Amino acid sequence: MKIFKKVIFIFIFTIFLGMYLLPLYWIFITAFKIEGEVLASPPIFLPIKFTLDSFKYIFLSRSMFLFLKNSLIISFFSVILSMVLGCFAAFSLAKFKFKKGINNFISNWILSTKFMPPIIIVLPVFFLFKYLGILDTRLCLIIAYTSFNLPFIIWMMKGYFSEIPSDIEEAGLIDGCGKLGVFFRIIIPLSLPGIAASGIFSFILSWNEFIFALILTSSRSTTLPVFISQFITDRGLLWGQISAASFIALIPVVIFAIFSQKYIVRGLTAGAVKG
Amino acid sequence: MNNRFFITDSKIKWIFLIPSVLLLLFILIYPLIFSLRLSFSEWKAGSDMVFVGFENYKDLFTDKLFYTALKNTFIFVILATLFELIFGFILALILNREIGKIRNIFRICLILPMMLTPVVVGVTWRMLFNPQYGLVNFFLNITGFQWISNPKIAIFSLIITDIWEWTPFMFIIILAGLQSIPDYLYESASIDGAGTIHVHKYITLPLIMPTILLAVIIRSMDAIKVYDIVYTLTYGGPGSSTEVISWYIYRQGFTYWKMGYAAAASYIMLILIAVLVMLFLKYTNKFLKIS
């Protein structure tokens, strides 16, 4: 009976893992296949010949490098900006007393932005940025991504800051640190793992974002997801190149997911679990 | 005490908070107000905004395509969330006891699909669903079955993709819930001679219910927003068979440039979501009080 259970377990486990790893393997392998084997039927799982043609094509003929650079710059700066603003705001909400309703109000507000569909926001924001004359610049995406990372970061960091016992802060105050000193010398160093985790999580969110990038930017300053989506509409059959671009887009996501897996569950449920 | 610090307590908390609040007002709240005004106006390129009252809303409620979009969104949200819940729950039950040693490998493999760029997920499944050389038809041993270009099947292909992407989320949340149930409850049940079905019915299910509700709320609210995989997998087609609400607003706004109309549709979507969230929360609170 026990062996029987074990066999069933291993069977389900393998099928499940296969279902998830095979599509990823397929992107990887298609990116390196020679052109004739990409469309082969039956599909070729273990190609003998490998080529970098697809990568050469997307970098040399489709200026992949520009979009990669855009994606990196936009994600990086929006994370830094929202991290700085968000940590200050979270410190204020976690460690100072406000009038009774304010804490709750802001928390609920943050909860509600999580449920807000991006398509509803992007329509008026399009006109706002058009009016300001910053459509199709990296700046407009940095501002947009900062504002939707911000509620998430405030929520996460508020949780981390509240977990720090107030005895430590009081000790700091008695030793003559000052409120700012407490924040920079005690709170920030103690919550570095939390800062790293929410930073990584919002980096991935910005990196993956699609609707804002699609509507607010068009050619010069657009990001990788838009670049990949353009492949599929105008030349739907170049699977080798689509896979190569996707493969590059997935590299940072996979690396970050592996390093921060413990915190990601907390991130995914942020805003729904009051904490 | 206070004059030891160069900024007093009451000021510093506002100085820290206000930049964030201003930015959020600027990007998230002002646009909503603007959009409300837009929804009562007609605005064509090159001319001024003209107030038209409830005209946009009236047109919207007579538009068949809008109802199709609503219907498709509901089919998508209900089926995707339901199957993700069922698969996630079953997997969590099976793997709950055994998962110890391999947890870390397993967790990485499961977290990956949720973190993947949704555009890439759509593109990948478009490749897998291809009738001639796609892997799905290869493994099911059928040739030429149209997953994406058949109007009756396309929405289900979308749902399958979403299930693939988000079942791990349900699984992880439910597993966490299962593992927080203390072992002694199961031990005492087995001493009392309860069978597997009874144990799950009277111990597992009541204790896991709050977690399940939470997971369902998060997932369904995310599924309502579905857009990226629609764009890359089916492009809203064939015909209007995968026209979901986000896609409808996008097309009305940025393909036909009917901005007032798109804003009106946005507000209907917003109200729908608000009602759903309130119903969910009310139901959840009631349920949590009972149990």
Q: What are the pLDDT digits (tens) for A229-247?
A: 888 765 556 788 888 889 9
Q: How far is B153 from chain A (nearest CA, A)?
A: 20
CA dihedral B146, B68, B268, B53 (to 10 degrees): 130
Q: Is B45 on the interface with A (CB under 8 A)?
A: no
Inter-chain residue contact A92 with B16, CB threshold 8 Å: yes
How much is the ipTM here?
0.85
Residue B1: band (very low, low, confident or very high) from pLDDT cuts 50, 70, 90: very low
Contact between residue A74 and residue A141 where contact means Cβ atoms under 8 Å apart: yes
In degrees and rounded to multiples of 5, residue B217 shows phi and psi of -60, -50
Residue B4: band (very low, low, confident or very high) from pLDDT cuts 50, 70, 90: very low
Residue B248 confidence (pLDDT): 92
Contact between residue B225 and residue B246 where contact means Cβ atoms under 8 Å apart: yes
CA B192 to the chain's CA centroid: 42
The Cα A216–Cα A118 span in angstroms is 12
Closest residue in A to B224 (Cα–Cα): A117
According to DSSP, the residues that pair with B41 across neighbouring strands are: B51
Two tokens, residue B180: 């927080």
Residue B82 confidence (pLDDT): 95
- Most A CBs within 10 A among B10, B16, B23, B160, hence the mutation to make, goes to B16
Q: How far is B147 from chain A (nearest CA, A)?
A: 16
Block residue for tokens 């009451």: B10
The residue type at A116 = M
The residue type at B174 = I
Nearest beta carbon to residue B20 from set A89, A123, A143? A89
Residue A111 confidence (pLDDT): 65
In the stretch 248-287 of chain B, residues with CB closer than 8 A to chain A read 249-250, 253-254, 259, 262-263, 266, 269-270, 273, 277
Inter-chain residue contact A120 with B259, CB threshold 8 Å: no
Residue B46: band (very low, low, confident or very high) from pLDDT cuts 50, 70, 90: low
Buried b (16+ CB within 10 A) or exposed e, A197-224: bbbbbbbbbbbbbbbbbbbbbeeebbbb
Q: What is the mean pLDDT of residues B16-39?
A: 86
Closest residue in A to B247 (Cα–Cα): A119
- Most A CBs within 10 A among B8, B115, B125, hence the mutation to make, goes to B115
Two tokens, residue B83: 């199957």
Inter-chain residue contact A85 with B20, CB threshold 8 Å: yes
Q: What are the pLDDT digits (tens) for B213-271?
A: 878 888 888 899 899 889 988 888 788 888 899 999 999 888 888 888 899 999 999 89
The Cα A83–Cα A202 span in angstroms is 9
Closest by alpha carbon to B82, among B197, B201, B223, B277? B223
Residues in A closer than 8 angstroms to B253, CB to CB, are 123
Would you list the DSSP string of chain A? Answer: -HHHHHHHHHHHHHHHHHHHHHHHHHHHHHHHS-HHHHT-SSPPSS-S----HHHHHHHHTS-HHHHHHHHHHHHHHHHHHHHHHHHHHHHHHHHS---HHHHHHHHHHHHHHHH--HHHHHHHHHHHHHHHT-TTSHHHHHHHHHHHHHHHHHHHHHHHHHHS-HHHHHHHHHTT-HHHHIIIIIIHHHTHHHHHHHHHHHHHHHHH--HHHHHH--STT--HHHHHHHHHHH-TT-HHHHHHHHHHHHHHHHHHHHHTHHHHHHHHTBTTB--
The Cα B79–Cα B92 span in angstroms is 20
Closest residue in A to B252 (Cα–Cα): A123
The Cα A79–Cα A57 span in angstroms is 31
Buried b (16+ CB within 10 A) or exposed e, A60-96: eebebeebbebbeebbebbbebbbebbbbbbbbbbbb
Q: What letter would DSSP give residue B233?
A: I
In the stretch 49-88 of chain B, residues with CB closer than 8 A to chain A read none
Block residue for tokens 């200050």: A88
Inter-chain residue contact B112 with A254, CB threshold 8 Å: yes
Q: Is B106 on the interface with A (CB under 8 A)?
A: yes
Residue A95: band (very low, low, confident or very high) from pLDDT cuts 50, 70, 90: confident
Contact between residue A115 and residue B277 where contact means Cβ atoms under 8 Å apart: yes
Inter-chain residue contact A229 with B120, CB threshold 8 Å: no
Q: Is B25 on the interface with A (CB under 8 A)?
A: no
Q: Is B119 on the interface with A (CB under 8 A)?
A: yes
Q: What is the mean pLDDT of residues A249-274?
A: 69
pLDDT > 70 fraction of chain B, expressed in percent and rounded: 90
Residues in A closer than 8 angstroms to B104, CB to CB, are 261
The pTM assigned to this predicted structure is 0.85
Q: Tell me: pLDDT of A73 over 90.
A: yes
Residue A235 confidence (pLDDT): 52
In degrees and rounded to multiples of 5, residue B113 shows phi and psi of -60, -30
3-state secondary structure of B273: helix
> Which range has the worst mean pLDDT, A57-61, B9-13, B63-67?
B9-13
Inter-chain residue contact B35 with A120, CB threshold 8 Å: yes
The Cα B233–Cα B229 span in angstroms is 5
CB pairs under 8 A between A and B: 239
Q: How far is A225 from chain B (nearest CA, A)?
A: 6
Q: What is the mean pLDDT of residues B134-149?
A: 81
Tell me whether the omega of the peptide bond preceding residue A42 falls within 30 degrees of 0, making it cis.
Answer: yes
